[in-house]
Amino acid sequence: AHRMDNVPTMAVLAHRSSHRGTVLDTTCLLCGTQPETAPHLWACSAQSHEWGPARRRLAAWLDQKVGPRAAPVRHQLWEPTVLEQWAAALRTPSMQLAHLECTGPHSLGTEFLRHVVEESIRIWYAHAKARATLLKARLGPGSTMAWALQELRLHQQAEREGVQREILE
Least confident of 27-31, 68-72, 130-134: 130-134
| DSSP 8-state assignment for residue 91 | -
Please tell me the distance from the alpha carbon of residue 128 to that of residue 30, in angstroms, as a whole number. 10
Distance, CA of 72 to CA of 93 (rounded, Å): 9
Strand ranges inside the chain, DSSP E? none
d(CA 22, CA 14): 8
Distance CA 23, CA 153 (A): 8
Q: Within a 10 A sphere around the Cβ of 21, how many other Cβ atoms?
A: 10
* Residue 132 Rama label (left phi>0; alpha psi -120 to 50; beta): alpha
DSSP 35: B
Q: What are the residues whose beta carbons fall under 8 Å from the beta carbon of 99, sequence distance 6 or more?
A: 69, 108
Q: How confident is the model at residue 166 (pLDDT cuts 50, 70, 90)?
A: low
Question: Cα(77)–Cα(100) distance, rounded to whole angstroms?
Answer: 15
Is residue 47 a contact partner of residue 124, using CB atoms and an 8 Å limit? no
Q: What is the pLDDT of residues 44-97, one digit of tens each?
A: 999 999 999 999 999 999 999 999 999 999 888 888 888 888 887 778 888 888
In angstroms, the CA 9 to CA 16 distance is 11
Exposure of 83 in the CB half-sphere (CA atoms within 13 A)? 29
Average pLDDT score over the chain: 84
Q: Compute, in degrees rounded to 10, the torsion defined by CA atoms 119, 98, 90, 118.
A: -10
Res 131: pLDDT = 86
This prediction has a pTM of 0.78
